[in-house]
Amino acid sequence: MTGRLAGRTALVIGASRGIGKGTALRFIEEGANVVLADWDADTGQASADELGAKFIHADISRYQDAEAAVALAVSSFGRLDIIVQNAGIYPWQLIEDTSSDDWDKVMAVNLRGSFHAAKAALTPMRAEGYGRILFTSSITGPYVTSPGHGHYSATKAGINGFIRSAALEFSGYGITVNGVEPGNILTEGIQEQRGDAHIASMVAAIPLGRLGSVRDVANAFLFLASDEASYITGTTIVVDGGQLLPEGHDFRIVPTGV
C-alpha cells in the first residue's frame, strides 16, 4: 500500500458490510483513520472490530444521527477529511404496489440521508478548508432501470443532481463533491435478495463477463478521496464492467485466430 490517505480521517456511512465495509477497509489500508456508521448496530460493531475502526450506530435519515457520526470522527481524530454516504435501501416494489409510506422510506434513507451527510460534514470541512464528500449513486436511475425500482431509481438520479449542486456551493471552501455509480456488484445484499438465475442474467449483460467486486468500487472511492482527484468535482465515476455500452443483447465478439 502507498499511504495515499495517511493522516486523513474518513467517515463511512452504511459501512457494516458490502461496498461501505470494503471502502472503509481500502481507506484503512491507505493509512486513513476511519469511523464506521450504520443502522445495524450488531453487524456494524462487528465490522468495526474486525477492521480496527471506531463505530457509531446511526440512522442517516435523521439529521441528529448524521451530526453525531461527524462529531465522533472529529472528537476522535481532530478533523474530518472524507465522508462517504453509502447507506441505501432498495426494496423490490412495483409502482402500483408502492404506498406513499414505502416511497417516503426509500427517499428518507437514500436521498434525504445524502443531504444530511453533506450538511453535517460541511461545518468541520469548511473550518479546515479541505474536504472530500462522496456518495454511492448507481447506474440504476441516471442511465437504466428495471421493474420494481421506481423509488430507488428516483433517489439515485436525485443524488446525482445533488452532487452537482453541492459541488458548486462548496467549491469555495476547498471541498470537492463526487460520486461513484456502481453497476451490478456482488455484495451480500445481491446474494441474499437475487437468485442464481437473476445473477447469471446480469453477468450475461456485462461485457467484461462478471459482476463487479466490492473492491472495484472501493478503488474508485479511494481515487476520489485522494489528492490525485483534487481537481475533480461535481461528477461521478461509472464502475459497471461496460454494462452501459451495448446497444442490444448480441454484443459479444468471439476472436478468430487466437
Which tens digit of pLDDT belongs to each residue from 113-169? Answer: 999 999 999 999 999 999 999 999 999 999 999 899 999 999 999 999 999 999 999
* Per-residue pLDDT at 192: 63
> Can 90 be counted among the known catalytic residues?
no
Is the pLDDT confidence value at 2 over 60?
A: yes
What is the rounded distance in angstroms from the CA atom of residue 58 to the CA atom of residue 36? 9
Cβ–Cβ under 8 Å, residues 80 and 125: yes
Q: Which CATH number fits domain 9-237: 3.30.1490.100, 1.10.3720.10, 3.40.50.720, 3.40.718.10?
A: 3.40.50.720
The residue-averaged pLDDT of 66-80 equals 98
* Entry pTM: 0.94
**Marked catalytic residue, from 63, 130, 152, 231:** 152
CA atoms within 13 A on the CB side of 33: 14
Grade residue 247 by pLDDT with cuts at 50, 70 and 90. confident
What is the rounded distance in angstroms from the CA atom of residue 226 to the CA atom of residue 134? 11
Grade residue 196 by pLDDT with cuts at 50, 70 and 90. confident
* Per-residue pLDDT at 52: 97
Other CB atoms within 10 Å distance of the CB of residue 50: 10
Share of the chain above pLDDT 70, in %: 95
